[in-house]
A = this chain, B = another copy of it.
Amino acid sequence: MSTRRKIVLRRRPVGAPTPDIFAIEEDPIPTPEEGQVVTRTLFLSIDPYMRGRLADAKSYAAPVPIGGIMEGETVGEVIASRDPGFAPGDVVVGPRGWASHLVSSAKFLVKLPRGGAPFSTYLGVLGMPGTTAYSGMTDIGRAKPGETVVISAASGAVGSVAGQIAKRAGARVVGVAGGAEKCLFVQETLGFDECIDHRAVDLDAALNDACSNGIDVYFENVGGDLQRLVFTRLNPFGRMIMCGMVAEYNDTELRPGPNLMRVVRNRLHIQGLIVSDKPERFAEWRALATPWVLDGSLKYREDIVDGLENAPDALIGILGGRNFGKLLVRVGADPK
């Protein structure tokens, strides 16, 4: 086992990505230098933000270079280490990439406890998406008892946690998701007060019914029509947590946005959120939420695809909402 498989970016997409922008290649498994660790990958995380990394546009992170390994969070088992903090057999999570084996500086890795929450959860409910939901609701949303909170992409990795945090805060929580099965999950399993199936109903009328007192907090993951319809319902002092706009990521031209007069009149607070700006939130959230995962009170759902080679298709799918829950690619078996 001296070679690894990796997925590299061949070219940048125009509009919706197609599988042929990626290629699967083999090369030798790297050996660690001083301060580095080599792992075999257990899980890759697939997240909508990755669409941004494919583009050449200036953004909060540099784009993936052409010919480079596609970037993303992974969980892996250490197989070689030249850092005193890590030993073979340790399981770690970190921002890495789409490959069966990876080498990284040890400083980007966090060691995971054995016998606690499943390793995969450190990519979802306890990882970047869960921390994003926590940071957004804590720093911007601040939902109060009696307020109405709308969560887009409510069955997804971020939305599912954001809504459960709002429920714990005593708010009335309305999810929006695509399809009856997702909506059932959002209401029955996650415990949101309502869930609107944006594929089945007249969104405008459904929002009137579900949010008869207006909307105080909107957790924005999707953009598009839903954003427009929520915006005009935002109450005085409403907050809009701008986490993502996945419905517009494949657009080649920007759509018009909402007229901002309502921001003045209603003293709205609209703020963008990239969780890596607040790295301290990760450990904070893991400490807070791990007991909730272990006692079953914080619900989550994983959508696991097998095989590194299926990662490109998984990413294409998440941009159209094809996943159901936190999307992961299983690359290797959990360690014994």
Contacts and interface: CB of A to CB of B under 8 A. Distances in A.
A242 interface: yes
A236 B61 CA distance: 11
A52 B244 CA distance: 33
Nearest to A267: B272
Interface in A211-266: 220, 223, 227, 236, 242-245, 248, 254-261, 263-266
A268 interface: yes
Interface string A33-77: 000000000000000000010000001100000000000000000
A264 B260 contact: no
Copies per complex of this chain:
2
A258 B257 contact: yes
Interface residues of A, number: 33
Contacts of A277: 267
B256 A259 contact: yes
B259 A254 contact: yes
Contacts of A256: 256-257, 259
A269 interface: yes
Contacts of A267: 60, 271-274, 277
A270 interface: yes
The 10 closest A-B pairs by CB, nearest first: A256-B256, A254-B259, A267-B272, A270-B270, A263-B272, A257-B259, A242-B263, A257-B257, A264-B272, A242-B264
